[in-house]
Every structure is written in structure tokens, then in C-alpha cells.
Structure 1
Amino acid sequence: MDLSDFASDNSRNIVLKSIVPQVCKDEPCCLGIDEAGRGPVLGPMVYGVSFCPVSCKERLADLGFADSKTLTEEQRDNLFSKIKQADDFIGFEVEVLSPNFISTAMLRRTKYSLNAISMDSAIGLLNLAIQQGANIKEVYVDTVGDSTKYQEKLQGLFPGLDITVTPKADAKFPIVSAASICAKVMRDQVLKSWTFKEGDDIVTGNYGSGYPADPSTKQWLLDNVDKVFGYPQFVRFSWSTTSTILESKARCVHWDDDEEDTAKGSASLFSFFAPKNADPKDKQHSFFEERHLKRVVSF
């Protein structure tokens, strides 16, 4: 699938989707939801959904789907090719959630947990499938958090659907396994094509699996820590692995710009970064734009 838009700006999320086969509009369908990359400290998390007519469940199973974590990369790629070739009865969607988005969301003042991010992505993709015309009747979801509460939430949002939320759904239901394959293959492709926009000083060698316990990942994080700016956006700043290294390796910075001083006539710290005679409200610095931070105006 075309990842050029994400490659040009990997600080933002992107949704990619197949066409909806006509049979998926005409017949009742089952839909599976799963993710890849929830635990790593590096790279995006990718959510995937796959759907097909209920009448094609056995046909789907015959293609040989299994939990993507138990398969080699080559096996996953082969299965993803089968999904694309079976576009007469299988549809799919993926959302690539950038590490920048994950970090910004989890570190904002109003708590937005990884579970909430995951659920919102799953809900968004399910809504998209329905809006695209897929006749969804059954939904199978690999759970995050408490499966009972998650199922109740989904059932409340989609009362007309038969929803099953359960651990290891990717090993129990071929349609979830297909979604797992889509998510994992897309994450692998993103990692291989990642463009570091922060400069040429980044060591782009072996970063391992991206999981915090991986020695190669740990070494890559140690090799790439910047004492002032921390890490490139490839890294999830909201992970304790990252914050622990930054606390020990990076400089401690204090920003003194008290409201009391400003009220007495002192210039705001941000004014020193603006060109002369420029209105600071004209354009935000890329730091704020990349993190989707906006000014709050009181009335």
C-alpha cells in the first residue's frame, strides 16, 4: 500500500483502506480487529481491521491465517498478498498511529491512556467500514484492558452488532488473524522505510525489535540520546524506558517565565524566538504544529 503520505510527515497518523467488495455490501459480514506494535518503545502502533461475508468464514480459514506473532515475516507477507488477491470477498483497513501522536497524547495534562488510544482507533476503523458500505453484523476484537468493559463499551456504541471481545482473538478467529496480518505487515513496512528528519547524526543501524527489553533496542536508545533535544520522533517519549535514559543522560533544563514577572512588564520567554516586528500569533513553531498543540484563548 502507498505509504508516501506518511513518509512525508511521519509525525501524523494515516488511515489506508482497500475497496469494499460488492459481496461485502450485499451479504452480512464479520469483521476482526487487532493491532501491532502496542508494546515497543520505537515506531508506530498500527491498528487493522479485516472483513468478509459470514458465508465465507471457511474460505477465509482455508487461506491459512494464524496469529501474526507466530509467523515469520515472509509468511506474513505471503498472507497479506493473499488478502489483497482475495479482493472479491475480503476488505481491510489500517490506521498507522505515529509515535509522536502516542507520546503527545499520553503526556498531555488530561489523561489519555494507551488503552483509550487503542479503543478509539478500533472504533474509528469499525465506523469507517460501516460508512464505506460494508454490511457488518459480527465483530471480533482482540481485547485491550478489561474485555468485559471493552465489550460493553462497543456494544453501547454499536447496539445492532453481535460483538465478541476476548483475549487471543487472533488465534481464535481467522478474521481477526487477517486483521493482525494487515497491522503487522504495515508496521514492518513503516519501520523499514522510516525517514529520520532530525538530521544526519542519528545512528540508523540495528535497533532490534523495538521492545524495551531488547538489548539492541536499549543500545540504540543509548547511542541516539541527544543531551538537549532527547530523541527523534521515532521514539515514544511516554515510555518509562525513554524517560529513565533522559533523566540520566540528558541535560536538565529549567524554564523560568513566571506569570508574575510577565505581569510586571517582563517580556515573555517566547518573544526571544520571534523575528523583529513579527506578530508571534502569525505562525506556530514546528515543535507545536508537530504535536498538534494549539493556543487556548479565554473569552
Structure 2
Amino acid sequence: MRRGRSAQPTLFADDPPDGPLGAIEGWLTSTGRRPALGVDEVGRGPLAGPVVAAAVVLPPEIPSDLADLNDSKQLSEATRERLFDALQVHALAIGVGEVDAAGIDAINILQATRVAMRQAIDQAVAALGRPPAALLVDGHLRLPGWSGPQWALVKGDGRSLHIAAASVIAKVIRDRFMAAQDALYPVYGFGRHKGYGTKEHRAALAAHGPCPLHRASFRWTPPADG
């Protein structure tokens, strides 16, 4: 008996459509895959701070004050903050998970991302009160151990409103946290670069060494002269 795609129907039943942002939400509705849960993370690449994941269930009809939903990287800080507040009102469920720098060093960034995503999903499912009919995960990363229908969508935060909403929640929470660290560790400028490896950040590391927010497992080099 052949075993292949049919062995994992929940992963490969069919594929969400390509198209403009929001086309996937139409597909979810037309195929009976509501409620859906979108998942995204922020903070895999920085030299410091946590990786944060969020999971969001949107209502079938998107209200007007969520009309600007998009990949969080394409939005201004002011727009992200406004959408964050609107999502607290309109989302059917929101979950957040995070793993700090010490946790990332202990299990590596890939596993830490999975842990944060699972925390966020579990929290959102508990808030929703039932499993979603579809799980949409940004990127190539499928979530191990998830038994329901699941799709990993490359650049999903620009394709699915659910994933875009999750990216906004995760980005705002992480950015707020990193900005607050300026008071504790003012020499690094976390409020400006949020822990990413900018020239300013690398120069501060070269001058002052790491602080407890830095990921010891990540390599960094001082900026080149000039």
C-alpha cells in the first residue's frame, strides 16, 4: 500500500491560494475552515532580547479599524500601535508566548521559536474554547505535534490577515519590552534598535560587553572602522 501525501492529510489536504492579502481569508470561509488561527513570531535574528510569538483568531468580517492590517514590517510604529489596540477589541482570541535570551541559549533559536509559538497557540485555543479549524503558520516552520489542519505559508504575514494580525501583536509586545530596557541598560540603545545587530549596537557591545539580555549563543563582531 502506497503511503505518501495521503498519510498526512491534515497538512496537505489542499493549499491556500496565492493572491492579495486577505485572499486566504476568503478561502478559509468558502472551505468551512473557520475559526482559523494565525501564528507569527518576532525576534529570531536579534543579538539580544526574547523571541516573541503571537496567535490570533479574527472574526469572519474584518471591521473597518483593522483595514490597515499588513505585515508588521510594512507598517509604521504608530499604525502598529493603533492596530494592536483594535485587535484587543475585535479578535476572537489572542495568545502570546516568549522565550528569553537564556532560554534561547539553552535550546537554540529554532526550538525556542517553536516553544514560543506553542505557548501562544495554547493560550489562544484556551481563550477561544475549542480547537481552530485551520492553523496558519508564517514561514517554512510547521508546528510538530499539531494534529489538526495546518499550513506553513512563506511570507504568510503578507498573505494572510490572521498571520498579519499575529505579526502586529508580537512586534508591538517585543518592541515595547525592548524599549523599556533602556532604563536598565542605557548604554546599548535598545529603544532604537530593539536588540538587532546594528552598527550602534555592535559598537556598544565592543565597548561594554554583553548584558543579561544578550544571547551568548549568537555571534557578533565589532563594526568595521569608518
TM-score, normalised via structure 2 length? 0.73
| Residues 69/50 of structure 1: CA separation in 2 closer, same or farther (3 Å cut) | same
User: Number of residues paired by the alignment?
Assistant: 187
In the alignment, is residue 233 of structure 1 matched against residue 218 of structure 2? Answer: no
Match of 1:222 in 2: 206
| Residues 125/233 of structure 1: CA separation in 2 closer, same or farther (3 Å cut) | same
| Residues 78/43 of structure 1: CA separation in 2 closer, same or farther (3 Å cut) | same
Trace 1:149-160 onto structure 2 (pairs within 5 A): 150-151=141-142, 154=144, 157-159=145-147
Q: Could you list the runs of 5+ residues in structure 2 that have no partner in the other structure?
A: 1-32
Task: Verify the 8 A CA contact 2:96 2:123 in the aligned structure 1.
Answer: no
Q: 2:150 aligns with which of 129, 139, 163?
A: 163
- What letter corresponds to residue 219 of structure 2 in structure 1? S
Task: Verify the 8 A CA contact 2:43 2:51 in the aligned structure 1.
Answer: yes
1:40-72 deviation digits (Å, cap 9, x = unpaired): 10222111111134x33x448953210001111
Aligned with 2:116: secondary structure? helix
1:215-246 deviation digits (Å, cap 9, x = unpaired): 11111212222xxxxx22121111111xx57x
Q: 1:140 aligns with which of 136, 140, 146?
A: 136
Query: How far apart are 1:80 and its partner, in Å?
Result: 0.4
* Percent of aligned pairs sharing the same letter: 23
Aligned with 1:216: secondary structure? helix
- What letter corresponds to residue 206 of structure 1 in structure 2? G
Q: Could you list the runs of 5+ residues in structure 1 that have no partner in the other structure?
A: 1-26, 106-111, 226-230, 246-299
- What letter corresponds to residue 139 of structure 1 in structure 2? L
Cα distance between partner residues in 2 of 1:62 and 1:130 = 22
- What letter corresponds to residue 204 of structure 1 in structure 2? V
Moved more, 161-170 or 178-187: 161-170
In the alignment, is residue 76 of structure 1 matched against residue 59 of structure 2? Answer: no
Cα distance between partner residues in 2 of 1:60 and 1:119 = 32
Aligned with 2:181: secondary structure? coil
- What letter corresponds to residue 131 of structure 1 in structure 2? A
Structure 1 runs of 4+ with >6 Å offset: none
Q: 1:96 aligns with which of 82, 93, 98?
A: 98
Q: Between Structure 1 and Structure 2, whose CA radius of gyration is higher?
A: 1
Cα distance between partner residues in 2 of 1:233 and 1:205 = 12
Higher relative contact order (CA 8 A, sep 6+): 2
| Residues 217/183 of structure 1: CA separation in 2 closer, same or farther (3 Å cut) | same
